[in-house]
Amino acid sequence: MSQTPPTIAYLILVHRYPEQFKRLFKAIHDPANHYLVHVDKNAGPELESDLRGFLAAYPNAAVLESKRALWGGYSLVDAELRGMAKLLEMDAHWDYFINLSGQDFPLTTQEQIRGFLGANRGREFIRVLDQASIRPETMGRVLQHVVEQGGRIVDSLVTRLFLKDATPYIGNQWKIVSRRFCDFVCHDPSVDRYKAFYRNTFIADEGFFQTVMMNTAAHGEVINDDKRMIDWVPDGDIKLRPRTYTAADADALTSSPNLFARKFDAEVDAEILDILEACLRAQAVANERATAVELAPVLVA
């Protein structure tokens, strides 16, 4: 007997480009899933009002209370934790949490994504590296005490030791994780010390969830893969940034085994979104035909 396909809870972080967000939302929308959108308060009330009006037509979508989100600050972790908690309140039965930015796009249909997750039940998809041994150059991010203040990160010039009996891990912000882990990281008191420590770290969103997961047991098998196609390129001395995809990347994107890609900018190249939308439509038609063949009665001569 086949299992019911898993349901997905999406958190989408948006700070600009409302029309591009709407294309993303339509591409990932499915009545079986749940959707929560956080609009960075720095973007202004007009953007949030626009998206609230758009989402009003979708009963399985909601808008999270808007707060300021600062790159490099704990406010991004806070937005995710609030999003996870709200999605847990919205429905008691979803299986997987997926976070996206408003400039991401799916590379396959929701049916295919649910099929992938159904075949990988009990697994967590998140980039994870031992920070001290593999990325030692980033240890200053967690050992320097910083404060998010006045719209910027302020270094207090205080150095500290890492959490006792814990190992720091690093990856990136994007993940596909189980409901079990979301419930644990949001509500279990044992996570409080990680929240308190990472509140004063730099680029906390690329280490907090990895560190909690790898130092605790409330999760499934960890797969070091976030199922995102991202082309990281240098951006200064301290970080990498995702290159913006264009139509020239269409073949690589449409043949990728990943589930999502980032990032896209319709003001730079909208054609690539047209191509991906057409690809999704073709996949949906192929899925419908395959299902029809499977359900067709067998004719007996």
Predicted local confidence at residue 3, as pLDDT: 78
pLDDT in tens, 27-41: 999 999 999 999 999
Instruction: Name 86's Cβ contacts closer than 8 Å, sequence gap at least 6.
Output: 36, 62, 64
Average pLDDT over the chain reads 94
Question: Rounded to whole angstroms, how far apart are CA atoms 119 and 99?
Answer: 20
C-alpha 161/C-alpha 171 separation (Å) is 20
The pLDDT of residue 288 is 79
Confidence band for 185, pLDDT divided at 50, 70 and 90: very high
Question: Mean pLDDT throughout 47-76?
Answer: 96
The per-residue pLDDT for 91 is 83
Percentage above 70 pLDDT, the chain? 96
Question: Has residue 174 got a pLDDT over 60?
Answer: yes
Please answer whether residues 76 and 171 qualify as being in contact, where contact means their C-beta atoms are separated by less than 8 angstroms: no
pLDDT at 4: 87
235-266 burial code (b ≥16 CB/10 A, e <16): eeeeeeebebbeeebbeebbebeebbbbbbbe
pLDDT above 70: residue 301: no
pLDDT digits (tens, 9 = 90+) for 215-229: 999 999 999 999 999
106-131: average pLDDT? 97
Q: What is the mean pLDDT of residues 158-169?
A: 96
What's residue 294's pLDDT?
66
pLDDT at 297: 63
Q: Does residue 191 or residue 241 have the better pLDDT?
A: 191
In the predicted model, is pLDDT for residue 108 greater than 70? yes
If you average pLDDT over residues 260-278, what whole number do you get? 98
Give the global pTM: 0.93
Share of the chain above pLDDT 90, in %: 88
- Residue 110 sits at φ, ψ, to 5 deg, of -65, -35
pLDDT the model gives residue 135: 95
Domain 8-229 top-level CATH class: alpha beta
Average pLDDT over residues 141-164: 94
Residue 1 above 50 pLDDT? no
Residue 197 three-state SS: helix
Whether residue 287 is predicted with pLDDT greater than 90 in this model: the reply is no
Taking the C-alpha atoms of residue 194 and residue 139, their distance in angstroms, rounded to an integer, is 16
